[in-house]
Structure 1
Amino acid sequence: MTGRTAVITGIGVVAPGGTGTKAFWETLTAGRTATREISLFDAADFRSRVAAECDFDPRQEGLSPQEERRMDRAAQFAVVAAREAWADSALDRGGLRPERIGVSLGSAVGCTMGLEDEYVVLSDAGRFWEVDPTYRVPQLYGYMVPSTLAVEVAWASGAEGPVSLTSTGCTAGLDSVGAGVQMLVDGLADVVVAGATDAPISPISVACFDSIRATTPNNADPEHASRPFDLHRDGFVLGEGSAVLILEEKSAAMRRGAHIYAEIVGYANRSNAFHMTGLKPDGREMAEAIRVALRQAKLDPQAVDYINAHGSGTRQNDRHETEAFKRSLGERAYQVPVSSIKSMVGHSLGAIGSIEIAACALAIEHRVVPPTANLHHPDPECDLDYVPLTAREHDVDTVLSVGSGFGGFQSAMLLTRSGRA
């Protein structure tokens, strides 16, 4: 990333624990978990019956009845987050050329809720193998095309520049922001609306994760079910939400006197070419992504002040990325605080990477490291400083955020306080 530098000038978040960036940050810094019994459908027959749900009312968030009817829940999240990000940026959209506004959105599972709801109707709750299309809603085709999510954000943003949808599983939220940065660096846009969204808390998604026993069966204690790096962890907690960032070229943002949360100075992704859901314990591929991102940012490991971990709360992931940090950062891995916000807001699949980038930018802004909630019994295999239970005041100038996804995707991104790198 040479020449043009991307900076974050606006943040919008829809997340468990409260809609809006302020509510999101308060949830994190309070160490408050937003996990509970699933209420979006009757989960009585499922192995895992807990999730991190958003308390989201589309009407209260300013969506019209037509928008609510047209858009899947994931699209609603993204549009509301985008509107907040635009307002936060204080950009005068009237002074922008629409063809110079781009959109880069990520999602792992697209319009899952809309698709499932429509299948239930068209098949008469599964009674008919051949569904009856005469009962479909006009929006059904849009539900089947994940790029619809990016289109909705483009319409809401008046964006006539490049528009894309990245779907790389659980790293989609990191990869979409990386793609948005590249739009700016390549001069394809002057402003990019970048982020991700997912609303996967539906029977089909829960059943899929149940079948591979990836999610926690700790239904008796939902508040403490998400326990990354804890010896007694037993799977991740499914979540939902969206985060959208306004990215601008640094010099342009400075000329207009914009508030800059952070610069995005490095990004890389790798694949382990190994297994759909399995991870090698040595963390080699994630370590390589981290090294490339550091090299791109022209930073050495000593510059990293905080690591936002993937921290899903599965033994193989926690062990994998712990080794990746050691392999890529050396002794610095033992000195830098690490934490997982999934302990509080769950794992929203493709959305979580962007939600975590928003958290990283806010950590730089407020010089506070969010905690890893529910970490009462550290796993001896995970022997780094995981900031248990309580947020920590800390000089945060450079943040490393990582993601790991089914299919072998491994991504890393570096953010710095504006002016440091």
Structure 2
Amino acid sequence: MSSRIVITGIGVRAPGASGTKEFWDLLSSGRTATRRISFFDPSPYRSQVAGECDFDPESEGLSAREIRRMDRATQFAVACADDAIVDSGLEVNRLDPHRVGVSLGSAVAASTSLDVEYQILSDAGRRWTVSPEYLSPHMFDYLTPGVMPAELAWRIGAEGPVTMVSNGCTSGLDAVGNAVQVIRDGAADIMLAGATDTPITPIVVACFDAIKATTTYNNDPEHASRPFDASRNGFVLAEGSAMFVLETLEHATNRGAHIYAEVSGYATRSNAYHMTGLKKDGREMAEAIGAALAEARKNPEDLDYINAHGSGTKQNDWHETAALKRSLGLHAYETPVSSIKSMVGHSLGAIGSVEIAASLLAIENNVVPPTANLHEADPECDLDYVPVTARERRVDTVLSVGSGFGGFQSAIVLNRPGGTR
């Protein structure tokens, strides 16, 4: 029998939340944290709203040298990793470093620093040639995504498997799924896993403008993210990070750790169809859901809550609704579903981990967070999307799903620990 893997530590940085408690307070109250972009002048852009984090690296304990060296996304991950380690109660200096690993997900990696350095080197785009004397000595760190998990490894002294996962918007789910497999394979006892992205930069905003994926509700930022609502017209770009400590159930139990949940099932599929397009039948996401449930030894009837991808684009919400019906049958209509992107926006590769954090806290508190801004459901989105207000109910098992550009479709099953498998 394969090892049972559990999560014993959480760290979160999200719009409107500088830690796990603030994050859950935001979600459970149904408040939104999206606003007009303040990091740069957004007026030239089609979409001008985002989920920004009020993040101060100095107050997070980062030194001036660390701040200069690390991209903003890496800083987020480090802050979350510190919180997750403390929350888990692990004394990392007493662990065998060769048995500790890192699995980090990110869609656009160090895009913040790359954008800043381009502006400097090109003199705000006015020069085709650049002068080497203006080049940052840390440019290699910004260009190479693998530096990001390496920073985490150095931070905690991890000398085991260290991996970067970049599968678009499913990266946060896939990084945790990878960490589970590393432990089950016997390559590590402890894994620090999660994801980070800070994509609110002119180049990233322009990229999503070009394909008209983001919202144009610029005059109403707080209500711009409207998953499953008939008036939705695109997602709200955001930044954020969430990191977790994973270990075997036996290891966690022996040291008396608090266990948030067991990661009982995970699967990922590709639609091999289109870079940004989705088939309306949701078949590939349904396949991932079915495989994750099978690994978890769960039936659709066992699910108490579904944490949706729920980006707020027309095609994604139709695709996801179809996938849930296809994989869960009639029970799809009986299971509460919600999208926290309605409150914290879509932080690309980080959001899968941020949504795992929300799922863990739903189990911890027996509360289903709502889909904010859902006032008139799209007739084709006819499931129980928990509109506007959180719902108290027993939550033992959660399915969290993700869908990413490139055709990635992932699903993870989390359940309250206890019993046998």
Q: Which string of whole-angstrom CA distances, capped at 9 and with x for unpartnered residues, describes residues 216-272 of structure 1?
A: 010000000000000000100000010000001110100011000000000000000
Q: Which string of whole-angstrom CA distances, capped at 9 and with x for unpartnered residues, describes residues 46-99 of structure 1?
A: 010000000000011111111111110000000000000000001121221011
Task: Find the counterpart in structure 2 of residue 177 from structure 1.
Answer: 176
Task: Find the counterpart in structure 2 of residue 397 from structure 1.
Answer: 396
Q: Which string of whole-angstrom CA distances, capped at 9 and with x for unpartnered residues, describes residues 352-411 of structure 1?
A: 000000111111011110000000111110000000001111111000000000000000
Letter in 2 for 1:121: I
Letter in 1 for 2:241: S
Q: CA deviation at 1:144?
A: 0.3
Please list, as runs of the form range in 1=range in 2, the aligned pairs for 1:300-319 lying within 5 A after superposition. 300-319=299-318
Structure 2 CA distance, aligned partners of 1:187 and 1:24?
Answer: 33
Task: Find the counterpart in structure 2 of residue 254 from structure 1.
Answer: 253
Task: Find the counterpart in structure 2 of residue 365 from structure 1.
Answer: 364
Task: Find the counterpart in structure 1 of residue 56 from structure 2.
Answer: 57
SS at match of 1:377: coil
Q: Which string of whole-angstrom CA distances, capped at 9 and with x for unpartnered residues, describes residues 134-182 of structure 1?
A: 2111110110001111111111111111000000000000000000011
- Alignment gaps of 5+ in structure 1: none
Task: Find the counterpart in structure 2 of residue 284 from structure 1.
Answer: 283
Structure 1 CA distance, aligned partners of 2:186 and 2:119?
Answer: 45
Task: Find the counterpart in structure 1 of residue 386 from structure 2.
Answer: 387
Structure 1 CA distance, aligned partners of 2:129 and 2:417?
Answer: 57
Task: Find the counterpart in structure 1 of residue 33 from structure 2.
Answer: 34
Letter in 1 for 2:375: H
Structure 1 CA distance, aligned partners of 2:145 and 2:126?
Answer: 27
Task: Find the counterpart in structure 2 of residue 419 from structure 1.
Answer: 418
Instruction: Name the TM-score, length of structure 2 as normaliser.
Output: 0.99
Task: Find the counterpart in structure 2 of residue 267 from structure 1.
Answer: 266
Task: Find the counterpart in structure 2 of residue 244 from structure 1.
Answer: 243
Task: Find the counterpart in structure 1 of residue 337 from structure 2.
Answer: 338
SS at match of 1:239: coil
Structure 2 CA distance, aligned partners of 1:171 and 1:372?
Answer: 20
Task: Find the counterpart in structure 1 of residue 22 from structure 2.
Answer: 23
Task: Find the counterpart in structure 1 of residue 109 from structure 2.
Answer: 110
Structure 1 CA distance, aligned partners of 2:5 and 2:183?
Answer: 7
Please list, as runs of the form range in 1=range in 2, the aligned pairs for 1:292-303 lying within 5 A after superposition. 292-303=291-302
Structure 2 CA distance, aligned partners of 1:66 and 1:30?
Answer: 38
Task: Find the counterpart in structure 1 of residue 7 from structure 2.
Answer: 8
Task: Find the counterpart in structure 2 of residue 139 from structure 1.
Answer: 138
SS at match of 1:388: coil
1:46 aligns with 2:48: no
Structure 1 CA distance, aligned partners of 2:357 and 2:156?
Answer: 19
- Alignment gaps of 5+ in structure 2: none
Q: CA deviation at 1:101?
A: 0.5
Moved more, 27-36 or 120-129: 120-129
Task: Find the counterpart in structure 1 of residue 195 from structure 2.
Answer: 196
Moved more, 230-239 or 58-67: 58-67
Structure 1 CA distance, aligned partners of 2:168 and 2:336?
Answer: 26
Q: CA deviation at 1:299?
A: 1.0
Letter in 2 for 1:272: N
Q: CA deviation at 1:3?
A: 2.1
Structure 1 CA distance, aligned partners of 2:412 and 2:17?
Answer: 26
Q: CA deviation at 1:133?
A: 2.2
Letter in 2 for 1:48: S
Structure 2 CA distance, aligned partners of 1:341 and 1:177?
Answer: 19
1:74 aligns with 2:57: no
Letter in 1 for 2:51: A
CA RMSD, Structure 1 to Structure 2 (Å):
0.7
Task: Find the counterpart in structure 2 of residue 208 from structure 1.
Answer: 207
Letter in 2 for 1:408: G
Q: Which string of whole-angstrom CA distances, capped at 9 and with x for unpartnered residues, describes residues 305-349 of structure 1?
A: 100000000010000000000000001100000000000000000
Instruction: Name the TM-score, length of structure 1 as normaliser.
Output: 0.99
Letter in 1 for 2:221: P
Task: Find the counterpart in structure 1 of residue 185 from structure 2.
Answer: 186
Task: Find the counterpart in structure 2 of residue 322 from structure 1.
Answer: 321
Structure 1 CA distance, aligned partners of 2:295 and 2:381?
Answer: 28
Task: Find the counterpart in structure 1 of residue 221 from structure 2.
Answer: 222
SS at match of 2:325: helix
Structure 1 CA distance, aligned partners of 2:401 and 2:132?
Answer: 42
SS at match of 1:19: coil
